Amino acid sequence: MEQSKSAVAIFVVVIAAGGASAGVVSVDGDGRSLSTELTSETNAFAADTDGDGLADDEEVSAGTDPLSSDSDGDGLDDGLEVNRYGTDPNARDSDEDGLSDGAEMADHGTDPTAADSDSDGLGDGAEVDEYGTDPRAVDTDDDGLRDGLEVDDHESDPLVADTDQDGLDDGVEVIDHGTDPVAFDTDGDGLSDARELADLETDPTATDTDDDGLGDAVEVDRYDTDPTIADTDDDGLIDGRELDAIADPTVADTDGDGVSDGAEVNDYGSDPTAVDTDGDGLSDGEEVSDDPAMAEAEPARFDVFVELDYMRGRKPSAEAIDMVVEEYADAPVENPDGSTGISLHVEIDDEIDRSPTTNLTERNDVMAEHMDYEGKGYRYGVFVVDPYLNGRDVAGFASIRNSNGAMVCKALDPPLYQANHFMHELGHSVGLGHGAYNGIDSSQVSYEEYTSVMNYNSGREVLGYADGDPFDDWQHIEDHVYTPPTDEIDDER
């Protein structure tokens, strides 16, 4: 009976209201007719049936459920979404970032209307669920790189400041040095990026900082050279070329011959690891010194120097000397510079007093008084009237491996005879002694067998040394040349 009275009362009110106006009659003021509210099961006496802050008619307009305070189930009441947060009450994840609007507000403090709250290039959901980064921090690990850059561009770890553990923060690597934040050794030269930058001052993006042909790690760990200086010892050769020449890149003059390695290789073509490149008994330093006596010397070509004095009326024939010079030039001796032959330099010097005979003692006296190139690697010779040795006249004589290889020659005519005797005595002076072979200074071996002016069977009308069996004069000279001593020359180049 009570329910009937209520219904009647409501009906009476509706009729009354209807009689008063042609519009929709809303009991609760939400703009919805009683019949509509009854049909939709909303509360006709409550403008906001679900108490979510939106009137029922507002919910209908918004497409939300007036019977549910949180239409999209995102943890936020519909009224708050519409009136406070500006989110979509019908979308659980308004910004489609993978996080529900409620979770963004309650759990993460992020903006539910912005997919990337911190604008770091990563969506909030990806930061929370995939990378574990802070969606409110542009640079979670504070390494100088935005989280998005770390993930998308560099593949570095946005949670670790120094992804590759090389001692450099990822941002420092990318921004300051251009190195790879996920590679301990960006250039793959065997040195960590941090060591290159902090300790060595090398370029961590270049395997060979100084471009000298040696990798930075090889320079530091194997050769102790400076990886930032192409020519560590400042000798004129970059470190890589020094090693190619088997020279020491930390020592300017590897062989200690007084010539820098660079000058040997670049200027003279000599060997920076050999004191005497051409094996002529003169050091490379002596051959390239400023001493005028060595003006014609070449450190990569065999040289023989002779000072010749002569008694009055016994000056050696230029033609005779030229014959011997040519024989030496044609010698089958291979030189480091690629040429063949020996350069014979003859300095015809002083005219001295005439003496009818010259013995060993007199020769020594003459040499002591007249030799101008003592201590400069020169052999000494004198052309005389009549050489005299061991109580008899001879065509000449010479010392072997002493007394500057001093020679005494008889000035005979014609020039060929002079050349023959000079070449014979010069052979002794450079090291061809009878102890080397029994055919030297003897008649034991026929000239047909041993074709050398050192053979007494040769006569006066031939020139030349033997270059084959049974004895090779030229090879013996090349291997065992005697060169007079030189004063030490301190002239580093």
Confidence at 20, pLDDT banded by 50, 70, 90:
very low
Dist. CA 9–CA 13, nearest whole Å: 6
Do residues 324 and 422 lie in contact, with contact meaning Cβ atoms separated by under 8 Å? yes
Do residues 180 and 186 lie in contact, with contact meaning Cβ atoms separated by under 8 Å? yes
Q: What is the mean pLDDT of residues 353-360?
A: 94
Strands 392-393 and 343-352, how do they pair?
Answer: unpaired
pLDDT tens profile 292-332:
999 999 999 999 999 999 999 999 999 999 999 999 999 99
Confidence at 488, pLDDT banded by 50, 70, 90:
low
Confidence at 493, pLDDT banded by 50, 70, 90:
very low
The number of residues in the chain equals 493
Confidence at 5, pLDDT banded by 50, 70, 90:
very low
pLDDT tens profile 382-392:
999 999 998 89
SS3 of the chain: CHHHHHHHHHHHHHHHHHHHCCCCCCCCCCCCCHHHHHHHCCCCCCCCCCCCCCCHHHHHHHCCCCCCCCCCCCCCCHHHHHHHHCCCCCCCCCCCCCCCHHHHHHHHCCCCCCCCCCCCCCCHHHHHHHHCCCCCCCCCCCCCCCHHHHHHHHCCCCCCCCCCCCCCCHHHHHHHHCCCCCCCCCCCCCCCHHHHHHHHCCCCCCCCCCCCCCCHHHHHHHHCCCCCCCCCCCCCCCHHHHHHCCCCCCCCCCCCCCCCHHHHHHHHCCCCCCCCCCCCCCCHHHHCCCCHHHCCCCCCCCEEEEEEEEECCCCCCHHHHHHHHHHHHCCCCECCCCCECCEEEEEEEEEECCCCCECHHHHHHHHHHHCCCCCECCEEEEEECCEEECCEECCEEECCCCHHHCEEEECCCCHHHHHHHHHHHHHHHHCCCCCCCCCCCCCCCCCCCCCCCCCHHHCCCCCCCCEECCEEHHHHHHHHCCCCCECCCCCCC
- Bond preceding residue 470 cis, omega within 30 of 0: yes
Higher pLDDT, 38 or 197: 197
| Topology at the third CATH level for domain 292-480 | Collagenase (Catalytic Domain) (3.40.390)
Q: Where do the structural domains in the chain lie, given as residue ranges?
A: 2-85, 292-480
Confidence at 398, pLDDT banded by 50, 70, 90:
very high
Token pair of 359, please? 């013995």
**Is the pLDDT confidence value at 406 over 70?**
yes
Q: What is the mean pLDDT of residues 203-224?
A: 96
Q: Angle CA(191)–CA(192)–CA(196) in degrees, nearest 5?
A: 75
Do residues 104 and 118 lie in contact, with contact meaning Cβ atoms separated by under 8 Å? no
Q: What is the mean pLDDT of residues 197-203?
A: 94
pLDDT at 22: 44
Dist. CA 272–CA 266, nearest whole Å: 10
Token pair of 260, please? 């820098």
Question: pLDDT over 90 for what percent of the chain?
Answer: 74
Q: How far is CA 134 from the centre of its chain?
A: 44
Dist. CA 141–CA 133, nearest whole Å: 8
Q: What is the mean pLDDT of residues 354-378?
A: 95
**Is the pLDDT confidence value at 30 over 70?**
no
Confidence at 1, pLDDT banded by 50, 70, 90:
very low
Do residues 350 and 372 lie in contact, with contact meaning Cβ atoms separated by under 8 Å? yes
Confidence at 482, pLDDT banded by 50, 70, 90:
very high
pLDDT tens profile 120-165:
999 999 999 999 999 999 999 999 999 999 999 999 999 999 999 9
Tell me the β-bridge partners of 407.
Answer: 381, 398
Query: pLDDT averaged over the chain?
Result: 90
**Is the pLDDT confidence value at 270 over 80?**
yes
Q: Angle CA(323)–CA(328)–CA(331) in degrees, nearest 5?
A: 130
